[in-house]
A and B are shown apart, each in its own frame.
Chain A
């Protein structure tokens, strides 16, 4: 598994337009639906970077990467897990204000990045979690639960994305806590789920990745250069040698 982080720009620099021509019609429509320019910019930058990352792995150009969705596990509609067409590689994307996180692997993968939720939100949402997770959070004073909640939530959402159910699955069904404060958090059988460092400049962000057990995984994500959003496409922009079927 490879993990990539992108620091998202707050404004589009004048004279250096984003490479939006590489997006498909669906992505452009989604982007235009955002009400606030900042949200639109976050979506656009995340999807431009996603296509450039995947193109590098597939040895193609970003506009040729074919993205689709599996059928929804709940209703069967074509809005389930995001997938690439015509390749055995799997990917996962998550973006929130300030950061985007990308995971690419030869097996199912899920990633999640979030801004730390407010104390009030933590209090409201905690009862939806697994009983043992709730008990672990309750050990912290309410004013200090934001970080453990955020770390737990991102592990849970990354796992649910990797599993392919997303938030359709009962949030209390799986335990992703950190029993006995052990070195690694617990994960459902067959999966490895852990938090990802977001860097010292992003202390209010939390992130996690989930991948099928047995797949090698990095300790940290690699940072994408900001240039990868604006320059003409070249796989070298990402600074690494990519091949289809890279053993990740």
Chain B
């Protein structure tokens, strides 16, 4: 039996201090896995429907309430402010992870962060962007 665990199997690191100390690639990868896990849990996806990190979240069933939930989780665990509309607007989960990875370098950039609003799209069809 193969007991080696891959990076994807491990629980992602969400500690801001630890993430700040890691190189950018590892930071993005860890945040990407965190985001995918959060979306899987929020949407209650069955195991055969994994989140595709190369695609936007709004094409994977994420609507306004789940985007807000994700915003709150990012704020709580990573201590950064990424608006729900920015989350929905990201062209992929990887891009969103990269944005988080860059913002996390600045300690506690919480409200009111004007950039968190200015680069976002405000509109959803309710359920979806």
Binding site for B on A (CB under 8 A): 33-36, 39, 42-43, 46, 69, 72-75, 77, 79-82, 93-97, 101, 111-114, 117-118, 121, 124-125, 127-128, 153, 157, 161, 165-169, 171
Contacts and interface: CB of A to CB of B under 8 A. Distances in A.
B2 to A, nearest CB: 29
Interface of A, helix, strand, loop or mixed by DSSP: mixed
Interface band, chain B: 20 to 34
Interface in B45-88: 49, 52, 55-56, 59-61, 63-69, 71-73, 83-85
B122 A157 contact: no
A167 B85 contact: yes
Nearest to A127: B72
Nearest to B120: A74
B71 to A, nearest CB: 8
A157 B126 contact: yes
Contact of B65 (A46, A79, A95, A117): A117
A73 B128 contact: no
B119 A75 contact: yes
Nearest to B42: A121
A69 B121 CA distance: 11
Given A33-B56, A167-B122, 8 more contacts: A39-B128, A74-B85, A96-B126, A101-B126, A128-B68, A157-B64, A161-B126, A167-B64
